[in-house]
Structure 1
């Protein structure tokens, strides 16, 4: 939860109902749920939804900023599977927003953040998940970063285009104070009927020679619960984030790989923990999202990657130094992306830096459309003037 100083916080935690339609094709989720609870409930019925990758992540924050899920390649962005929002508007009216009723608001809520009202129910399309998933982590030494990044490019321009049921995020992490620096690949698939130890499509990652492998068959609930303890410890610290979206490019991937380690290696900031994740976004992701009504986000139909920096440190006194390091790192990444003619204009709201104008980054068409929806449903601009958090339209 996030609050405004001297403001009022509306806590939705008791609005935690999870209802599954008799057909099992639609799940209605209260905004007080987290994804661990949602997945656990739905898995008992043999179905799933396009929720978050961590159990502790809340439902509304993820869905209203068009977040990523492990099913992104086959289903589109997480919010693409929302078939209806129940929302309280600024004047107190409760309305539904879907493809046939308030369709403009339905589109705007899928990426427009908290600019339009308070969502009190999310109705999501489900899909069968009878046999669980296969996932885990392949860990490498930082000296292998370039080879792993090039293997990711090979996957993204081949197997990921052919098999939308595979997701392969790539991560680099460094903790300078203890000398930890590593590279991880986190393959995921919901097609678990393969033979052998791993899906043949991800062989390039194994060919690099991981130092350790934890991948196995498991339930979706088990997968999202992994690493939750360490994540919660991180959220007691200072936090900064930044995002950059780029076109897939072998040369770019090779040059970006390992830049994190060089930039932050000499940091003496207490508790400094730095990670960057690469999240492949194939053309099929955007096509599937648009087929379902589209989202407000500015994503274009390119083979691309969402690069997301997440940084933590201990003390408020180090805020300026830590953020300055992050800004300098992102400037380096941006310069390299421009060199390879791979820089994309849009920002992903859930990981963008605080100073970024995310809504305008969606492009003129989406931005102006969002403003029109805001004027229509919030004529007094209540959620622009009084709800100052997040990324605004004015």
Structure 2
């Protein structure tokens, strides 16, 4: 073990964290490594420290920062696929998965969440109290990373981004100090954290607006790929009318499973008021010959919905996304390129042993108005040329070599082809959602010059020694974002 590692471990023990400090060879260490969903994140750090509260996060951060030359990672749920985002090889990982306290204040009507909880556990507890928050859509996703990246929920069309519902953050800064960030205390940090990700400190508590826990009507209809044109037409119509019908939500999910000849297209729909077969979703439900029938849709709690729709743990995975304007031609181009991706992977990967997925979901420019009414965020969707679609491509393979040499280049080629086509018909959109980006993408540069300027200023103010820019290898760094003036573009309506 290196001298840096030995020094860091000694300082963590001196800080009183010896009983939550785990090193290679220990059962607890191995269990934490094995719990990381993307296999590429199982990096084998020098040590894992698991603080039990905010004060211990502060102690851990002070010990780590005071160890010269030591790099570190911070883990919440461990769901993110970007390399080094949840773990580190030559360094120490601060694991927040013991920070799972969930409380409700009936006077303020705020729900307080620590970052280590998974959304299924949050919803289970809240629904039992007749409450909900605007949170994640997958059972195993962690609270922390999801919220500091923005947060797309089933309620986004009516409530805005999940970060828009956060009233206060508790943050441990790089020097170990514990601060609050809200509209009146550290308001610049408060705004920056609404989409600014892991650039300023470690958030140890989120105080969110609560709402009544209504049951939702939901389900997933599955269609063969031969229904692609009908699905595309129905989805374009749905997105064009979504702003006027914000209680209904739908996203598309194309899926190729190993050893299966053709991919399927799923339509995941919900009505957050529990209304069965609502009019805005009827075009989907009328598509003939589904593999699984919409008659199977049910009224459920949000916890039940997530429990029934668990995204399986990954192997070696790569996800990457682009944004384009709503357009049926671009969606059909994406479907064509997705099918070509499957054939390309079939030729390169033995026994057809891979998964390929394409998720299409709306990003409406009007959501910026919801955000503005709550004080704004830094995501920059007010700069979109119009209502858009986020196209997210994911692959899962059996080795890191296959991911890097076959899967990732194939995904990039697909998205480049779709992006080029969208540009050719003036339907492109220069915006990236951080939570769906991969290693070599740069989301902050697409959030707009003013937001980049704000984020850089806040990082310099609250982390003047650039700890989170230089000593945390993972994640997206505001220091790497371009702050050049925004380009003025014209978009022809075709």
Shift of 1:170: 1.0
Which of 77, 96, 117 pairs up with 1:12?
96
Distance across 1 between alignment mates of 2:298 and 2:447 = 38
Match of 1:150 in 2: 233
Shift of 1:227: 3.2
* More displaced 10-residue stretch of structure 1: 334-343 or 144-153: 334-343
Match of 1:199 in 2: 278
Match of 1:242 in 2: 320
Mapping 1:183-222, distance limit 5 Å: 183-192=265-274, 194=275, 197-209=276-288, 210-213=290-293, 214-222=296-304
Match of 1:231 in 2: 312
Distance across 2 between alignment mates of 1:9 and 1:255 = 42
SS in 2 for 1:169: strand
Shift of 1:176: 5.8
SS in 1 for 2:232: helix
Match of 1:382 in 2: 467
Distance across 2 between alignment mates of 1:60 and 1:170 = 26
Distance across 1 between alignment mates of 2:443 and 2:344 = 31
1:167 paired with 2:246, answer no
Partners of 1:153 and 1:250 within 8 A in 2:
yes
Specify every segment of 5 or more residues in structure 2 that has no aligned partner in the other structure, as ranges: 1-77, 79-85, 480-494
Distance across 1 between alignment mates of 2:451 and 2:432 = 13
Partners of 2:345 and 2:406 within 8 A in 1:
no
Using structure 1 for the length normalisation, give the TM-score: 0.94
Q: How many residues align?
A: 385
1:276 paired with 2:276, answer no
Higher relative contact order (CA closer than 8 Å, sequence separation 6+) = 1
Match of 1:32 in 2: 116
Using structure 2 for the length normalisation, give the TM-score: 0.75
Q: Which has the larger radius of gyration?
A: 2
Distance across 1 between alignment mates of 2:182 and 2:202 = 15
Over the aligned positions, Cα root-mean-square deviation in angstroms equals 1.6
1:298 paired with 2:380, answer yes
* Shift >6 Å, 4+ stretches: none
Deviations 1:370-391 (A, max 9, x none): 1011001111111001111100
Shift of 1:206: 1.7
Match of 1:365 in 2: 450
Shift of 1:25: 2.0
* More displaced 10-residue stretch of structure 1: 362-371 or 253-262: 253-262
Match of 2:492 in 1: none
Shift of 1:258: 4.1
Distance across 2 between alignment mates of 1:296 and 1:80 = 10
Distance across 1 between alignment mates of 2:368 and 2:312 = 29
Partners of 2:217 and 2:271 within 8 A in 1:
yes
Shift of 1:361: 2.1
Shift of 1:340: 2.5
Shift of 1:142: 0.4
* More displaced 10-residue stretch of structure 1: 76-85 or 309-318: 309-318
* More displaced 10-residue stretch of structure 1: 334-343 or 74-83: 334-343
Shift of 1:139: 0.8
Deviations 1:31-61 (A, max 9, x none): 1211111111111121211111111110001
Partners of 1:169 and 1:186 within 8 A in 2:
yes
Shift of 1:368: 1.6
Partners of 1:116 and 1:378 within 8 A in 2:
yes
Which of 94, 100, 108 pairs up with 2:184?
100
Mapping 1:48-87, distance limit 5 Å: 48-87=132-171
Shift of 1:24: 6.8
Specify every segment of 5 or more residues in structure 1 that has no aligned partner in the other structure, as ranges: none
Partners of 1:297 and 1:346 within 8 A in 2:
no
Q: Does the C-alpha gap of structure 1 residues 185 and 140 become closer, same or farther in structure 2, counting only changes over 3 Å? A: same
Distance across 2 between alignment mates of 1:363 and 1:285 = 16
